[in-house]
Structure formats: structure tokens, C-alpha cells
Amino acid sequence: MSIKDLKIKREFFLISLSILLIFYLIPTPDGLDYKGKMMIGLMSFAIFLFVTETLPLGMSGILIMAIPPILGIYDSREVFGFFGNEAIFLLISAFILAAGFQKSGLHRRTAVRFLKRFGKSPKIFILGILLLGSSFSFMMSEHAVVALMIPIIAFSLMGVYEDENLRKAGMIALAYGCSVGSIGTLLGGARNPYAVSFISENTGTNITFLQWSTMAIPVVLIMLPIVWLLLITVFPTKTEKIPVKKERKSPISGMEIKAGSVLLGTVVLLFIFGSIGTAVIAILGATAMFLLGVIDWRDVEKAIPWGVLLLYGGAITLGKGMLNTGATEWIASGIVRYVGSNPELLLLIVIAITVLFTEFMSNTAAVALMLPIGLGLSAAVPALNPIAVSMAIALAGGFAFTLLIGNPGNMITYSTGYYRQKDLFRIGIFADIFGISVIYLVAMTVWKFMGVW
């Protein structure tokens, strides 16, 4: 990091501290006490840190946990006890499963064979990339899938250098496919288990692996063809055929069989016996990876993004603090006062704000900031079902289609040089609008038919 960049980050950090100081000095608004006022200040402080990335996200998460004891909002033992959350252990286990899958090399064999089934037609091939990314993101973190698939997609697109649009569409399809697929199961992204944990602790409703997928997959199934049509419309291809790249064939190894069996078995158990605890089953699957010799602990140390786990502590602190101090009810009453109490309109606004937030910060951070507000709105407007609004926020947190900073998958695919930010913006604006609309329509129709609200 250059001296200039370091100076800018220090200035940003001073600004973030100034936000806390301003909230400390201003009079406490009617309807709030000191703790509620300072939690809103801490949320504003967190938003600034997340958007500017003044600190690494993991460090921001730790700092957010350290501030409430200083301000007298929480006892330090209570704050740091938030790391005992079940969602964190589900995440750790999911990363271990993904590490075994990657080390075995099964991802490459599966992806190559999958893409070959989509023939030589460029438009159908783009659909294949979307389906590949979304399918893999059902089983592991979306940014991990992007990182694993980039060499395969790049290899497949070799020989079409003269067709920039096809290369743009191919790489963006990988990022978008992983984003859409990541909402389909609890294994797809860090925000998913966090949302389930939040819903359970604050509403008493335990959402199983199967229930989550039943609610989320309709959104996936609708969004994938929409994104595909956007890609082939915004980036029309001149190429008639994609050159077939020959891959050296090799027999499937015992390690691949073991890794595939463990991953598939874990997912099946999560669907069937998810009620006993998703983290419990995921831990058993991760244990099997070790017992079968697929991975060792050194592989895990490399595979787990510890920053994401540390961010969780800050997210949980924000959520609990906002709810327990009454800050969310105060914000919700203000929104209702200005917007009205129509539950359908409030749901649409919450989804749109979440998508906007997640374009500028970590998906998990955006969801962590919006879930308490959504729950506060459901308390202020009983017709707004808390499960529906919380699930809508969690799904909307996965749809960062417009800006590079909104999603690690966008950044990783951008690093190939196949497209530029303006290309992502051209298609992302429309994808965001459709994403908001699809989540809203599914919530208003499918979820109501299911009896969610």
C-alpha cells in the first residue's frame, strides 16, 4: 500500500470515529434512550467502514464488537460470546467441504463435462455457464466457485478473441450464475446461515435447509433465464460456433469419488434431516473429509476466509444491539410515518434498499444491517410477516449485479480483463431491477401460497 493510500485510509478512519462522536454529543431523540442512540451511531459507523473499506472487513467486524463495551451498551463477555453462534460453525464446515471438493479435482472434471453438453452454440454455451455457476453455488460459497471455474471458462473461451461480446458475456455469466445460485441453499453464501440464525433467535422460527431452498429456488429458477436473456441481448455475439477444446481424458480417481460422495451425502442429509441442525450435519460431513483422507488441516487453513468469520461477530453485534436497544423500532416507526403502513409497499422498499446496500458493501454486512430494520418494520406493521421480510432481505443481499465492489465474484471475473466496469453497469442496472421485482413477486405469490404469510 502506498503512503498516499495509507493516508487516505487514516483520514477515513478519523471520519468514521467522528460519526460516533457526533452521535455521542447530540441530544437523545424522543423515543430512544442513550443505548439506542449509540447503536444507530454504531450502525452509521459500520456503514461508512463497509462502504469505504477503510479496514479489511474482518478487522471492521472485530472493531464493531469492541465498541459497545466502551460505550456502555454491552458487557464485553456478552459481545464476544456472540461467536458461539451456530451459523459460524455451519460456515466453517461448509468451507471444509469445499476445500475437499477442490483438492480432489472433481470440480474440473464435472465442469468440463457439463459445458460440453451445451454444444457449440454461443448463446446456449452462455446458458451452460450460468447453470454451471448456479449449480456449484448450491454446494459452496459463490466466490469460491468463481475462483474454481475461471480457468475452465477461460479455457473454453480460447479461440474467440475476436468476439469481445462473447468473452464479456461468458465471464459475467459466471459471476451472475454464482450470485443467483448462491441464494438457493444455506451453503451458498455466508449471509444465508446468518439470516437463518437471526430469524430463529428473534422470531422463534427454525428454518430448515429444505424450507430455505423451497422458498429460495423459485427465485433462482425465474432469475436464471432472465439473466441469460439480458446477457445475450446486451452482448450480442458474432461467433457462430465455439471451437471445441480437447481435454486430456483420465479415469476418475478414488479421491474424486470420496470427495463427491461426501459432498453429495451431506447435501442429501441436510435436505432430509436438516431439522436436527444444519451445522451438526455439516460438521459430520466435514469430519468425513478428514477420515477418508481427502484433506488435512493445512488445506483447511488455506481454504477458510477467516475475515468472513470475523465479520460475523460484528454483524451479530449490530443485529442484537439494534433490536435489544429499541433502535430498530424507532427507525421502523420513522419509516412508517413517512411511507405509510402498506405491508406490500414496505416489503418492496426493504428489498430495494438491501440490493442498493449490497452494491456498495459485503453481502453479509448489507444483510446484517437490514435484518433488524426489517424485523422492526414487521413489529410496527403486523401485516408485514417477519419471516417473509427477513427472507426477502437475505435473498436480496445476494443480488449485487452492477458494481465490482458489491461482490467478490464480480471482482474475480473482472481480474481476467475480459470486461470493464462500464460493461457490468450496462447489464447490472437491468439485472438489479429484475432481481428486486422477482423477489417481490415470489414473496407476494409463492410464499403466500406456501402459507409463509
pLDDT of 362 higher than 80: no
Backbone angles phi, psi at 385, to 5 degrees: -65, 130
Answer for the pair 97, 286: CB distance below 8 angstroms, yes or no: yes
Helix orientation angle between 86-104 and 142-156, rounded to the nearest 10 degrees: 20
pLDDT at 243: 62
How confident is residue 160, by pLDDT bands cut at 50, 70 and 90? low
Q: What angle do CA 258, 90, 325 make, to 5 degrees?
A: 175
Query: H/E element holding 406?
Result: none
Cell of 57: 472487513
How confident is residue 311, by pLDDT bands cut at 50, 70 and 90? confident
Cell of 236: 450480442
Mean pLDDT of the region 157-167: 75
pLDDT at 159: 59
Q: Find the length of the chain.
A: 453
Whole-angstrom CA distances from 404 to 45, 358, 422, 423 are 22, 11, 10, 11
pLDDT at 247: 59
| Cβ-based neighbour number of residue 204 at 10 Å | 8
Whole-angstrom CA distances from 326 to 21, 163, 321 are 20, 56, 8
User: How far apart, in whole angstroms, are the C-alpha atoms of residue 390 and residue 330?
Assistant: 18
Mean pLDDT of the region 147-154: 82
Cell of 207: 428454518
Residues in CB range of 443: below 8 A, 6 or more apart: 347, 351, 388, 391, 392
Mean pLDDT of the region 407-429: 87
How confident is residue 168, by pLDDT bands cut at 50, 70 and 90? very high
pLDDT of 308 higher than 80: no
Backbone angles phi, psi at 317, to 5 degrees: -60, -45
| Cβ-based neighbour number of residue 445 at 10 Å | 11
**Average pLDDT over the chain, rounded to an integer:** 88
Helix orientation angle between 254-273 and 278-291, rounded to the nearest 10 degrees: 160
Burial degree of 130 (CB within 10 A; 0-12, 13-18, 19+): buried
Q: What angle do CA 181, 267, 189 make, to 5 degrees?
A: 35
User: How far apart, in whole angstroms, are the C-alpha atoms of residue 304 and residue 99?
Assistant: 8
Q: Between 106 and 231, whose confidence is greater? A: 231
Answer for the pair 195, 390: CB distance below 8 angstroms, yes or no: yes
Highest mean pLDDT among 53-57, 147-151, 230-234: 230-234
List pLDDT tens digits, range 220-271. Answer: 999 999 999 999 999 998 777 776 555 567 788 999 999 999 999 999 999 8
User: How far apart, in whole angstroms, are the C-alpha atoms of residue 242 and residue 122?
Assistant: 6
For 36, which DSSP code?
H
Answer for the pair 174, 411: CB distance below 8 angstroms, yes or no: no
Buried b (16+ CB within 10 A) or exposed e, 309-321: bbbbbbbbbbbbb
Does the model's pTM come out above 0.85?
A: no
